[in-house]
Amino acid sequence: MTASGTGERRRRSPAFPIGLTLIALFFFAGFCALGAWQIQRLSWKRDLIARVDARIHARPVPAPRVAVKTDEYRRVRISGHFLHDKAALVQAVTVRGPGFWVLTPLATDQGFTVIVNRGFVPPENRKDYARPLGEVQLAGLLRLNEPGGGFLRSNDPAADRWYSRDVTAIGAARGIKGPLAGYFIDADAACGPDSLPVGGLTVVTFPNNHLQYAVTWFVLATMIASAYIYVMRQEWKDRRG
């Protein structure tokens, strides 16, 4: 303002519109790019959910010796005999409350060993559950290894404390001889509803918030564009005046 108080606006530098345009363009392009990326992620996630759903409901196929990423959640079947003396209990929280997964190695008829998640047992039944002997046949979902441990808790093989289904570490701790599959199988539920362990508790869910994220980024881009237009209109009016 002038000293006389007429309210005249101070004229900005001629470089102001250029700088403002560059800044607005940078943020507008960035937000639009993030929105487009989330749309791509949405398409990928929907395709993933469809593929996993098809695997889960497909007829079981023979369990492979080696599994790859695309084999996860595939329904497989296997036969052999359990090595109950080498079982491990992994802490778990399920729809039935806290307890343990019973992970038992299965010496297969194909000449390798695969660890089977036989199901859930509550803490009071950690030693009191069924241990079938002889030849068994089972089906379930192929799951990839879970190395390291759980949230903020690392597996402690020396103390026999397990927080994730790390089949490699469990196999080493239990001294399993011969080839060991690098995955485990979540076994289907047994025939008896009250039998332990309780199988068939695998929860297959994939967070899919990509559409909300995309809308958020595009709204921010729109806000940037609207703010830029408003400021530039005011600048144009001031310069005309």
Residues 121 and 181 in one domain: yes
Kindly report, residue by residue over 92-128, the tens digit of the pLDDT: 988 888 999 999 999 999 999 999 999 999 999 988 8
- The neighbour count for residue 171, using CB atoms within 10 Å, is 21
Residues 78 and 149 in one domain: yes
Helix or strand run (H / E) with residue 108: strand 97-108
Residues 170 and 82 in one domain: yes
Kindly report, residue by residue over 211-234, the tens digit of the pLDDT: 899 999 999 999 999 999 998 888
- Cα(116)–Cα(105) distance, integer angstroms: 6
Residues 163 and 228 in one domain: no
Kindly report, residue by residue over 7-57, the tens digit of the pLDDT: 445 566 778 888 889 999 999 999 999 999 999 888 877 877 777 777 777
Count of structural domains, the chain: 2
Helix (H, G, I), strand (E, B) or coil at 225: helix
Residues 159 and 84 in one domain: yes
- Our CA dihedral for 85, 91, 92, 98, rounded to 10 degrees, sits at 110
Burial of 78 (0-12, 13-18, 19+ CB in 10 A): buried
- The neighbour count for residue 165, using CB atoms within 10 Å, is 24
- Cα(105)–Cα(127) distance, integer angstroms: 16
